[in-house]
Amino acid sequence: MMDKLALRDTAPRLPIGELSRRTGVNIETVRYYEKIGLMPAPARSEGGHRLYGRGHLLRLNFVRRARDLGFTLNEIRDLLELAEQRDLPCAEARVVAAAHLLDVRAKVAALRKMEKVLVEMVARCADGSTPDCPILEALFDSEVGTNAQI
């Protein structure tokens, strides 16, 4: 597990642009994460520029990877707290991840339904040469998608 001291290491080393480049996180997103408390406030240069330490880099990579997996910001906040605890965070992290897995599976099922409806809509459109478009008509129909039939 990540050294909790590394997460707290905020000694200034990197400007925000370099932090953004190394993590693949947009500069505005970094500022937003600071604003909502996911990232600790960085040190500032004499000119007022943000300067980030290794802990910021590790933490931002953690947040980005968790976001890539679809975790919410609140779930990420919980996971970060667990990462800093060291007692028995794995059991609690498992609970957070298991709940998220259920959400992901529900979304996958919904996407499969959407795929089925779209496949049927595209098939009904044939070659697209008719003036009446079944796709556009289906989008006006409030029943389409609720039973996955066109």
Residue 24 domain-assigned (yes or no): yes
Contact residues for 25 (Cβ-Cβ < 8 A; gap 6+): 19, 33, 60, 63, 64
Q: Cα angle at 88 between 85 and 89, to 5 degrees?
A: 60
Domain count, the chain: 2
| Tens-binned pLDDT, residue by residue, of the chain (150 aa) | 455 545 666 666 899 999 999 999 999 999 999 999 999 999 998 999 999 999 999 999 999 999 999 999 999 999 999 888 767 678 888 999 999 999 999 999 999 999 998 888 888 777 777 777 877 887 887 765 555 444
By residue range, what is the domain housing residue 55?
4-87
Distance CA 58, CA 133 (A): 51
Do residues 115 and 76 share a domain? no
The CATH number for 18's domain is: 1.10.1660.10
Q: Is 16:50 a contact under the CB 8 Å cutoff?
A: yes
Q: Which tokens is 134 given?
A: 């079944």
CA distance 32 to 90: 28
Shared domain check, 83 and 50 = yes
pTM above 0.85, yes or no: no
- Residue 135: inside a domain, yes or no? yes
Residues 120 and 64 in one domain: no
34 in any annotated domain: yes
